[in-house]
Structure 1
Amino acid sequence: MSSSHVLSCDDLREVTGYQRAADIERCLVEQGVKVFRGRLGPWTTIDLINQAGGLTPQAQNDQDYDASIL
């Protein structure tokens, strides 16, 4: 599965420790994570969490490299 794996409201409940959807969303937004509002509550992706933490995706193969590696 790709690193853009979707994290559901239930996943986020487990990660944040909050039970209410509004609390989960507030917690993530305060940390700079882009959150989407779905019918079953807030959701995001692992890529968006990593991005908020300052991580960038690693190249998947040689075609993803550019001149900056030289």
Structure 2
Amino acid sequence: MSEVSRVLTFDDLKRITGYARRADVERTLHEQGIRIFRGRTGPWTTVELINQAGGLKAGTQEQYGVEIL
């Protein structure tokens, strides 16, 4: 899997959280301890940062990939 495919865009985050407004998406991710970055087209994050917020360590077999979307 390429590094680009491990980035979750604002559209991905809207679908995952169920919210459409940028502020709602950002608030939800912040409340869950997921680090986000703010880009021109909206917030984005990575699968690794979501796994990290869930308590999974880098390099473990338990990490979820973007194919779960």
TM-score normalized with structure 1 length: 0.77
1:1-70 alignment runs, 5 A limit: 1-2=1-2, 5-58=6-59
Once the two structures are superposed, residues 8-64 of structure 1 have per-residue CA deviations (whole angstroms, 9 ceiling, x without a partner) of: 0000000000001111011001100000000010100000000000001226xxxxx
Percent identity over the alignment is 63
Give SS of 2:34's match. Answer: coil
Aligned length: 60
Mark the structure with the bigger radius of gyration.
1
* Distance in 2, Cα, partners of 1:11 & 1:55: 21
* Distance in 1, Cα, partners of 2:47 & 2:14: 15
Q: How much does 1:2 deviate? A: 4.8
Which one-letter code corresponds to 1:32 in the other structure?
G
Where does the alignment leave 5 or more consecutive residues of structure 2 unmatched? 61-69
* Distance in 1, Cα, partners of 2:32 & 2:22: 16
Where does the alignment leave 5 or more consecutive residues of structure 1 unmatched? 60-70
TM-score normalized with structure 2 length: 0.78
Query: Cα RMSD over matched residues?
Result: 2.1
